[in-house]
Amino acid sequence: HCLYLFADNPQLLSTVSQPPTDGNGRPCPVSGVELLDKCLCVVYFDNNKVQVFDCEDRFKKIKDIQVKGMSYPDDMVGCSVTSQLFVSDYANVNNIWRVNVNTGVSDVFIKLGYCARLSLVENRLLVTSDDSLLMYDIHSGQRTKNIPLTEDMKKHVVFHAIESNRDSFFVSHGQLDGN
């Protein structure tokens, strides 16, 4: 349960091997990583902390940010302009948490009621749902767009989506049974 970091030519640069442990003493698996400024931020399943490492000092751990109420982080994106992370939480009514890496302050940014994947472009947070893509402004928290999925996509599970250019999106979808 380690996070391995690689450069452009495939060679191991560093290993971040300080995962927290679950209630049984086993290492928690990594569920999200994000580069934010000069920091590597890591979240783990079944853990309420964000670990922050210094990218310029051999990935030395700088701090743990405890997010009270978060229990099963599932995906994470970050914004360097605001120094904020957005973390989806699978267990807690599928909240999306906002975490300020500089101050350690966190809050529930959005309450969804379902599991979601995240992507971020500038100040636009894209959130997946079963039948649409939802776009939120990261400053106000207001939903700015609801992009309906095609009927064909609605028959499948949406695994992830990203915004490429304004009003252009790539959506990964399929069936869980392998078909």
C-alpha to C-alpha distance for 117 and 60, rounded to whole angstroms? 29
Find, among 51, 65, 66, the residue nearest to 16 by Cα. 51
Nearby residues of 101 by Cβ (< 8 Å), 6 or more positions away = 36, 37, 39, 41, 50, 52, 65, 78, 83, 84, 85
Length of the chain counted residue by residue? 179
Confirm if 127 and 110 have CB atoms less than 8 A apart: yes
Instruction: At 108, list the tokens.
Output: 């529930």
Q: In angstroms, what is the C-alpha Rg of the chain? A: 17
pLDDT value at residue 114: 79
C-alpha to C-alpha distance for 74 and 84, rounded to whole angstroms? 17
pLDDT value at residue 8: 64
pLDDT value at residue 1: 41
Q: pLDDT 10s per residue in the chain (179 long)?
A: 455 555 566 666 667 667 888 888 888 888 899 999 899 999 998 889 999 999 888 888 999 999 999 988 989 999 999 999 999 998 876 789 999 999 999 999 998 877 788 999 989 999 988 888 999 999 999 999 998 988 888 877 778 888 887 778 888 887 766 55
pLDDT value at residue 14: 67
C-alpha to C-alpha distance for 97 and 81, rounded to whole angstroms? 17
pLDDT value at residue 178: 55
Q: H-helix or E-strand containing 44?
A: strand 39-44
C-alpha to C-alpha distance for 87 and 68, rounded to whole angstroms? 13
Confirm if 120 and 96 have CB atoms less than 8 A apart: no
pTM recorded for the entire structure: 0.86
